[in-house]
Structure 1
């Protein structure tokens, strides 16, 4: 199954490690540094059309999305429930 991140962009849902709210998680200095280094190294893919609200961390990439972290998490949860859990 795939997780729709907005703008017609999808990733395999089994690759999702973490879904985070950008506003509530990036205020710490260490997280800001992590995101800055990730961006400089080319690990961030922006699917937010310039309006990021959340991020999805996979083993290799951080995806920015315009969709709220709650909505993304609900989508993953719905898929998990429909398919009998993890």
Structure 2
């Protein structure tokens, strides 16, 4: 199954490690530094159309999304419940 990140972009749900709210997590200096370094190293893919609300961490990439972390989390939870887990 795939997780829809907005604007037609999807990633495999099984690759999701963490879904984070961009506004609340960037108040942390450590998280802000992590995202800054990740961007410099080319690990961030922006699917937000310039309006990021959340980020999705996978094993190799961080995806920025315009969809709230709560909505993305609900989508992953729904998939997990429907399919009996991974």
Q: TM-score range by the shorter chain?
A: over 0.9
User: Which ranges of structure 1 fall in alignment gaps of 5 or more residues?
Assistant: none
1:28-67 to 2 correspondence within 5 Å?
Answer: 28-67=28-67
* Aligned residues between the structures: 86
Distance (Å, rounded) in 1 between the aligned partners of 2:52 and 2:3: 16
User: Which ranges of structure 2 fall in alignment gaps of 5 or more residues?
Assistant: none
Mapped pair 1:80 → 2:80: yes
Moved over 4 A (4+): none
Q: Deviations over 1:8-57 (max 9, x none)?
A: 00000000000000001111111111000000000000000000000000
With structure 1 as the length reference, what TM-score do the two structures score? 0.98
